[in-house]
Structure 1
């Protein structure tokens, strides 16, 4: 397992640094797209280690959670222009809320289906916020797309613990079923227990949950669940269910979990309750293992190295080195960029 330290950080990058990052990012992005194509660029963005390394090469404080929001902002500035056939919509806070509006604008320019991308965007956000219940709440959401392919990078926070977690989705051509959709999740720590209803190990529990909604038995089973857990105070059962949303879902008769999840008001409380009902009443377990693949190491903020498997290290270094060689940067600028990358991977 690779380790990276990423404390929750609310600061912003200074303008002089952002300006420099955009210039360097533009050169690197052009090389990737020219040599490897748009699809490979999306695949690289969906790789948590490459994403973190890219931020470091550009000069941002690599071990800050702000690297996610800053790099996304830099890539939006670089990619959202006629030179490229890749667009980035969304971002942090209010920018995330404007994602559908931005998708429609770019889709019109590129003559592609906006509603498909908007559905994927909404589904990915709802999945990581409500169907993967790991203690983190999303505050950053960005979708990267070409006329044919798309991926999502989003980040959640646990403000009480001052922890952050970044979710990278695989690259897709069509909207996927919500099952093992991540190419990687990178986190401050691995949680002891989660509710992961987007794991293939939860497939039967998901089917039971959808059936409970469709046949109208959720309220009855929820009452049975409360009776069971009164004897076990260690089990957390949500007490605030949006019953209007449950009724709306019943009327809509969702055929798939994805349809249920997109019903307004169906959130993590309802999904957790459905998972517990499946487990404790119908004896069909759900996946409780944290799917995070990379764990941020414990350490101080500035200049703390993070250990990465040697083969991953070598691949990223080699790829970045090749990219920088092909840019028109001055030699000293290339050396400085590589030094920043090497420092971040120092073991």
Structure 2
């Protein structure tokens, strides 16, 4: 069976992604995907997308709000835009989306089938089944409004879809992975992400097989009208309380808090300190040319260390998605404005590394991997600034880095003077 990987509580957020960030998310999301495919293959990218902790970290490293439901929409949209020109090269196709786009998924999958030779009709059926199961078979109070279907040329796929509960102002994200999927109705989810709200009606649980069969038999023997009359008759008398069900499946879940600011408790600080130390240690040796750029180079290497972990990190390292917001901030100024100059350099470095790797020149991608390796080696040894000090420094330096948010550009008129960042000479 496919694995269950966890759940999370995602606060519902309104608003939109501004064009200046959406364009950058498109480019960075595509090049990170390319790097993963280069190192580990297409199926590994699907496995990452089916991992809710990694998915949230992926969105955070791209400058989206680190904890919100909007990460799902923005990441799926960025991948759809960014990977479309690369479909022929990578063999990865992103279909669906939010609202009306989700309803077009079966037609898009048929078109993919016509281009690639895979069974588009079967993929469309899978899309409809997945949506129906999470909207009807699993009755948990969340109404689906987003359905993303990512499929490869050989017919392997991942589905990321999301529902909302307006009353609770919460969202739940569901992850499906075709790898190892034997049944759509017996524990099929790769992951379910959302708040725990007590017992739910889950007819996609393997233990609900008898219930599904009984419901069909009841429908066949009585018919829908008779069932409706019986149900109405039950409304006049209070039925005795049923014994509480205590053996529902419990999944590990990531609780994304309602507060907008990133707090120290949201970050595993030693991991971040190790990434910053790795940037200082490996940066002069591997990114000497980048560090010649005045005032920005050193900070870009730190962002690259976070991106490198998204590409290479083990699953357990994504337990604190908030940490990845250090790379490129957040559009709502949490934990700090998006450092646009840093963001653009990150994209340029990643693009250069991937383009050269296509030609057999993997030195730059190897440098990024060394950056991640060094971060892991330093995790037990590195120390440094507290999270509050890190955020304070980033806010102070934001005008220098081209800081920008939905509230505008950081003008720096009231910013305190800062010293030029330097790194030690190469070793």
Deviation at 1:26, TM superposition (A): 2.1
Q: Secondary structure at the match of 2:125?
A: helix
Paired position in structure 1 for 2:116 = 110
Paired position in structure 2 for 1:336 = 303
**Contact between 1:96 and 1:142, CA under 8 Å: does it hold in 2?**
yes
Residues 139/292 of structure 1: CA separation in 2 closer, same or farther (3 Å cut):
farther
Cα-to-partner distance string for 1:220-241 (whole Å, 9 max, x where unaligned)? 3443344345322798xxxxxx
**Contact between 1:136 and 1:157, CA under 8 Å: does it hold in 2?**
yes
Q: Are residues 1:134 and 2:112 paired?
A: no
Deviation at 1:24, TM superposition (A): 1.7
CA distance in 2, matches of 1:234, 1:163: 31
Paired position in structure 2 for 1:44 = 48
Task: Map 1:231-246; keep pairs closer than 5 Å.
Answer: 231-232=237-238
TM-score normalised according to structure 2 size: 0.59
**Contact between 2:106 and 2:124, CA under 8 Å: does it hold in 1?**
yes
Deviation at 1:106, TM superposition (A): 1.8
Residues 208/344 of structure 1: CA separation in 2 closer, same or farther (3 Å cut):
same
CA distance in 2, matches of 1:10, 1:93: 15
Root-mean-square deviation (CA), in Å? Answer: 3.7
**Larger CA deviation: 148-157 vs 293-302:** 293-302
CA distance in 2, matches of 1:121, 1:56: 27
Deviation at 1:127, TM superposition (A): 0.7
Deviation at 1:219, TM superposition (A): 4.0
1:12 to 11, 16, 19: 16
Paired position in structure 1 for 2:66 = 62
Deviation at 1:84, TM superposition (A): 1.5
**Contact between 2:137 and 2:202, CA under 8 Å: does it hold in 1?**
yes
**Larger CA deviation: 135-144 vs 224-233:** 224-233
Paired position in structure 1 for 2:25 = 21
Paired position in structure 2 for 1:206 = 212
Paired position in structure 2 for 1:86 = 92
Q: Are residues 1:181 and 2:188 paired?
A: yes
What is the number of equivalent residue pairs in this alignment? Answer: 288
Q: Are residues 1:145 and 2:104 paired?
A: no
**Contact between 1:57 and 1:338, CA under 8 Å: does it hold in 2?**
no
Residues 304/111 of structure 1: CA separation in 2 closer, same or farther (3 Å cut):
farther
Gaps of 5+ in 1: 236-279
CA distance in 2, matches of 1:305, 1:169: 32
1:171 to 178, 192, 195: 178
Residues 10/233 of structure 1: CA separation in 2 closer, same or farther (3 Å cut):
farther
CA distance in 1, matches of 2:210, 2:10: 35
Gaps of 5+ in 2: 291-297, 308-317, 325-386, 388-427
Q: Which of these two proteins has the greater Rg computed from alpha carbons?
A: 2
Q: Are residues 1:53 and 2:57 paired?
A: yes
Residues 217/308 of structure 1: CA separation in 2 closer, same or farther (3 Å cut):
farther
Deviation at 1:28, TM superposition (A): 1.2
Paired position in structure 2 for 1:260 = none
Residues 309/150 of structure 1: CA separation in 2 closer, same or farther (3 Å cut):
farther
**Contact between 2:150 and 2:157, CA under 8 Å: does it hold in 1?**
yes
With CA pairs under 8 Å and 6+ residues apart, which has the higher RCO, 1 or 2?
1
CA distance in 2, matches of 1:175, 1:113: 17
1:124 to 130, 149, 153: 130
Residues 334/209 of structure 1: CA separation in 2 closer, same or farther (3 Å cut):
farther
TM-score normalised according to structure 1 size: 0.71
CA distance in 2, matches of 1:205, 1:308: 43
Paired position in structure 2 for 1:252 = none
Residues 41/178 of structure 1: CA separation in 2 closer, same or farther (3 Å cut):
same
